[in-house]
Structure 1
């Protein structure tokens, strides 16, 4: 009823019921005046959906300001697209849960050390692609097209690009959680048996499912980048201000190449090239993602303006610790376990590794050390800033 009433008022359809060009009717009858007044009195609050001129309020970028004609085509485009499909989060969440359940059911008939067939693998890849993509859409819908999401955006002054970026980080954290579950399962099963030859099917199963994430993430990063361009080009042509997908791939070749390498070559190593060996060690590789949720949370806290909060500092310290343990210290520990399994000393065990394995370890380890040093530098600056701020406040008081 409320929607119908607001529509009538917004388009002033009550005037359509009384022909204005009727010469026999100088003034509307009292009954129609009364009905129109009642409709106006019943009009719901328009601060949630419309401004004073009945323009739809944008769900992102310009919350609660309205989209007027002089604010450019981009804002109106964002507003219209926001209100095309509302409250879609429930069916989207249902699809997310359904694909996850189907993925689990597709491997329940396997023995612990079975291999994943190609047909089963492609099914898992498809489920993964649907899962991550629809999860991203569901999170966007929750923030952009619900009352609580609008309130959250207004409170923290978020734009559409902020919302897209935050939800990209949330999906990344979910993927990292799945990696950790896979890694813990592989390590618990394979490392307690024959470290070199024992394998658990979950390693290959999630390699298929998780490979889809890297291809989804290329598309998701493109969406984040594109909406930033749209919002910056407020006075540009809507049709020309966006970035084409293939243009984005060309201008962001490094990060796209990284995703294709991890999602493609990394997938092949885990599923085929390793020949079923070293499942315990690949379990530790999966556990490298343990720091990702804290990295994502750090970015989200920064977006919502909480860089000066204690939560931001605590999360940063946890992120730093987790990153060091799971991405730097992990490599020497794995080599130590390998040395014990073949009954050699540490140095001899390193020499016994194939050259390709040594090169792979260096390729993985050196960037982690570099990023860890950058994190230490950033964390020290944050802590120094907090100490300086406290001293300043004490001097003031």
Structure 2
């Protein structure tokens, strides 16, 4: 068991260190905040790709019977890479938060302390709570409480990571100054589409699949599954809905800003031609 945990505990911090050492060589003008942010996003994308591949394998292998079919990756991936990644990611998010505010000149960020940790938790409370919920709710369910059933649904939860590489790519493109190119706009559409399908619509889909297996209507499924399963799903789904609303608002603001900029450019062009 310890060897399994060590593999993920070494992989993600190791990748983070490699990216953090390599990026300043390529992008010499980047600050520590830039390097840490991009390093964190690259590692998140690696984990997301691994989780997505594991999810596809588990889901495709357990379609015949979504309750009793088993695949070793359903529990092994959670233990080997899910737990170490969540623990690592909280630390990486803290570093990103710390350097971002240090670059801005905040006096509280002259060194690591309990105060900087407290400020981080308050600023990123929902993200920290999300990670803790996964560690304290999803982990026990995946490893102990489901009684060797429902590997299909664990695989579905792995698929929630599909949107992460698109989110990370968007932030990296902004970092390198490509936020106005067409690829960034396409990526933004992929963020919204993948986030909605794999982090929101996925949950009613899982309830529907469960209902199909037991010939139950969708509305009665929550009454036929354990309370801890419903609570776990709600704890995971609720922040996803909140973040999706934030993404939609951000996308709308960017659209309005670009539309206003284009309109001003067209007006200036008309006036220049008239003169």
TM-score in terms of structure 1 length:
0.61
Q: Answer yes or no: is the 8 Å Cα contact 2:134–2:236 preserved in 1.
A: no
In the alignment, structure 1 residue 184 sits paired with structure 2 residue 56: yes
CA–CA distance in structure 1, aligned partners of residues 129 and 99 of structure 2: 22
CA–CA distance in structure 2, aligned partners of residues 365 and 351 of structure 1: 18
CA–CA distance in structure 2, aligned partners of residues 222 and 381 of structure 1: 27
CA–CA distance in structure 1, aligned partners of residues 76 and 148 of structure 2: 13
Change (3 A) 1:266 1:344: closer
Which ranges in structure 2 are unaligned for 5 or more consecutive residues? 270-275
Q: 2:9 aligns with which of 129, 141, 154?
A: 129
Which structure's CA Rg is the greater one?
1
Which ranges in structure 1 are unaligned for 5 or more consecutive residues? 1-118
1:241 deviation in Å? 2.4
CA–CA distance in structure 2, aligned partners of residues 123 and 248 of structure 1: 33
Change (3 A) 1:327 1:257: closer
In terms of fraction of residues, the more helix-rich structure is 2
Q: What count of residue pairs does the alignment treat as equivalent?
A: 263
SS of equivalent to 1:213: helix
1:340 deviation in Å? 1.0
In the alignment, structure 1 residue 139 sits paired with structure 2 residue 19: yes
Change (3 A) 1:256 1:328: closer
In the alignment, structure 1 residue 193 sits paired with structure 2 residue 64: yes
In the alignment, structure 1 residue 322 sits paired with structure 2 residue 194: yes
1:264 deviation in Å? 4.2
Give the match for residue 213 of structure 1: 85
CA–CA distance in structure 2, aligned partners of residues 204 and 320 of structure 1: 29
Q: 1:251 aligns with which of 119, 122, 134?
A: 119
1:342 deviation in Å? 0.7
TM-score in terms of structure 2 length:
0.86
Q: Answer yes or no: is the 8 Å Cα contact 1:227–1:242 preserved in 2.
A: no
Higher relative contact order (CA 8 A, sep 6+): 2
Change (3 A) 1:169 1:264: same
Q: Answer yes or no: is the 8 Å Cα contact 2:68–2:149 preserved in 1.
A: yes
Q: Answer yes or no: is the 8 Å Cα contact 2:97–2:120 preserved in 1.
A: no
CA–CA distance in structure 2, aligned partners of residues 248 and 263 of structure 1: 23
CA–CA distance in structure 1, aligned partners of residues 120 and 98 of structure 2: 12
Change (3 A) 1:272 1:391: same
